Amino acid sequence: MKRLLSGNEALAWGAYHAGARVATAYPGTPSTEILETIARFDDIYAEWSTNEKVAMEVALGACYAGVRTIVSMKHVGLNVAADPFMAASITGVNGGLVLICADDPGTHSSQSEQDNRHYARLAKVPVLEPSDSQEAYDMMAIAFDISEQFDTLVMVRTTTRISHSKSVVDLSRSRPAPTGEVGFPRNVSKYVMLPVNARFRHPLVEERMVKLAGFAETSPLNRVESGERNLGVITSGVAYQYAREVFPDASFLKLGITHPLPRELIRRFAGQVDRLVVIEELDPFLEEGIRAMGVEVTGKDFIPLVGELSTDVVGKGAVSAGILTEPPVPPGITAVADLPKRPPLLCPGCPHTGMFFVLASMGQRLKPPDSGDNPAKKSNLIITGDIGCYTLATYPPLNAMDTTACMGASIGQALGMEKAGIDTNIVAVIGDSTFLHSGITPLVDAVYNEGKITVVILDNGTTAMTGHQEHPGTGVSAQGNKATKVELENVVRGVGVSDVRVVDAFNMKELRAAARSALASPELAVIIVRGACAVGVPQRGEPRVVDAGKCNRCDVCLLIGCPAIQTVDDKVYIDTTLCVGDICTICQQVCPQKAITPVTGETE
């Protein structure tokens, strides 16, 4: 069966056809669709875990119980899961355990670009890198076999381009019937990492790497494609595709296993070519390994360390290094400059907009359309931020975010600023899914250490930024079943916060009152702002319109940053195809002239 599949879909099908019985993940671009695809199969257990650390631990338990298990996350997710990941390396597995780690070269949707192959070197586990969807599908079966044969977690590293691009896949395998019984073979020296046991496991890990290096020498995943001998290219992942297009006649050593390196294969290949180069995205991971072998090689002197590669980037690099005399792709045309940009924005009807407008007004941060400087610099309010759609409130006109570091950081950062002696008001803003992911422990810290900050939890009832995944607060499981709902206000009160308010995200009066009182409070205060994500609301109410007769162009409505509110021919106008209408009405509530009304109101 041939199908057009994204790399993520192909990885999911590959795991399914390899007989995986348990799948865990926390959503994160570009990895999310792996679990979303797996969750659609009935005969596999799939869960959205609270965070990546938990996902890794659940996966570890499942593989100890003897079933093939897949855990997936984005690159920075592995930072969260690093502790159980390192432990998995030491204990090894029972059923096969495959971690899919999706890196984001080019920082399309992340706080950083990091090359997670370094983690594999740290943990001493093998890495496989697919170059297209077909390989992604095929590699999953091999990854599970390696995991079980060598008693190791196997990392499959994809990147945004591999995960999200679609190509044709032949789904040639089928799902095997469950083999063997599920059972945990109690083995204290393998599974209880007391120092006395861990000490004896470490030499086994080193032996494992030697055996894996031998395996990599002859595995068909590492293959030589002989071409002209004047140029030899060692490459992996999506970089293979770009390099193939730029150097169609060169010889290639295409590595599917990038850790540990097949040293003898590399030496033989190097001996067969006049000039050896490595084309790889992000860090010189392969290049440094090869150079350390004493083999003469170049790569990062003409291929950028930073950002994503492409046929253009590799081509330009090749010209600068004198490998090609002219770029393989002639430059295009130069045409019209100064087109309006379309940065991503909070949607029309977004439940985050109202609270940000309140915080921005109270902090005097709103940026009038024609002002040059950024008023947030002079604000009397500090807003520490977190990771989600709401990070977009950083942009004008709201200017409502001062920090964003990693999942859950807002609360700890706010507390740190307070303890450092900042005397202005400090507000931490965090989403519902992010709060459950890693906001609870810093809130406990703020309770315990007598913090006086205000924490705003923006509860839109979903994991919106990654495309509406369920989480413990939604009451629905990854596979669409009813689940026990974790109530945010119970969690917050349960850890010891007494000043807790739950407010309607679209009621400006309530929002203002809650913010004023929390900021004035001498103790830790939590405001839960509740309102459904606009994208998830199927019914649109009556759109709003601007009465041009009443509008005096004070432009307050433009300061909420709603994409439906625009100016055309010097008049403020609401695009009725974008406006969500009755569920929102924030513009109507903030208009001092009462010039914004329901669309039918005009004709009354």
Point out which residues bind other proteins (CB under 8 A).
2-4, 29, 108-109, 132, 134, 160-161, 164-168, 238, 241-242, 244-245, 310-312, 315, 328-345, 347-348, 369-370, 389, 392, 396-397, 465-467, 535, 555, 558, 561, 563, 565-568, 575, 577-578
Residue with token string 């406006």: 579
- Minimum CB separation of residue 326 from other proteins in Å reads 14
- Minimum CB separation of residue 561 from other proteins in Å reads 7
Q: Which residues contact 464 (CB under 8 A, 6 or more apart)?
A: 388, 389, 431, 433, 533, 535, 536
Nearer to other proteins, 7 or 472 (CB): 7
Nearer to other proteins, 30 or 260 (CB): 30
- Minimum CB separation of residue 109 from other proteins in Å reads 5
- Minimum CB separation of residue 159 from other proteins in Å reads 11
Return the HEC string of 160-202: HHHHHCEEEEECCCCCCCCCCCCCCCCCHHHHCCCHHHHHHHH
How many helices (DSSP H) and strands (DSSP E) are in the chain?
21, 22
Nearer to other proteins, 10 or 120 (CB): 10
Residue with token string 């509406």: 468
- Minimum CB separation of residue 500 from other proteins in Å reads 30
Nearer to other proteins, 167 or 298 (CB): 167
Q: Which two tokens stand for residue 549?
A: 């007769």
CA distance linking residue 248 with residue 250, whole number of Å? 6
CA distance linking residue 155 with residue 117, whole number of Å? 9
Nearer to other proteins, 217 or 575 (CB): 575
562 and 587 in contact (C-beta within 8 Å)? Answer: yes
Nearer to other proteins, 107 or 507 (CB): 107
CA distance linking residue 200 with residue 79, whole number of Å? 26
286 and 278 in contact (C-beta within 8 Å)? Answer: yes
Residue 233: strand pairing partners: 252, 277
Backbone dihedral angles phi then psi of residue 314, each to the nearest 5 degrees: -65, -40
Nearer to other proteins, 9 or 47 (CB): 9
- Minimum CB separation of residue 334 from other proteins in Å reads 8
CA distance linking residue 461 with residue 500, whole number of Å? 18
Question: What single-letter amino acid sits at 314?
Answer: V
Nearer to other proteins, 4 or 210 (CB): 4
Question: What single-letter amino acid sits at 37?
Answer: T
Nearer to other proteins, 299 or 315 (CB): 315
- Minimum CB separation of residue 461 from other proteins in Å reads 17
- Minimum CB separation of residue 200 from other proteins in Å reads 46
- Minimum CB separation of residue 340 from other proteins in Å reads 4
Residue 257: strand pairing partners: 128
CA distance linking residue 128 with residue 65, whole number of Å? 24
Residue with token string 């019984």: 181
Q: Which two tokens stand for residue 67?
A: 């079933």
Q: Which helix (H) or strand (E) holds 213?
A: helix 195-218
DSSP 523: S
Q: How many CA atoms lie within 13 A of 195 on its CB side?
A: 0
- Minimum CB separation of residue 573 from other proteins in Å reads 9
Nearer to other proteins, 232 or 348 (CB): 348
CA distance linking residue 511 with residue 592, whole number of Å? 17
- Minimum CB separation of residue 293 from other proteins in Å reads 29
Nearer to other proteins, 507 or 593 (CB): 593
98 and 56 in contact (C-beta within 8 Å)? Answer: no
Residue with token string 């913010």: 515
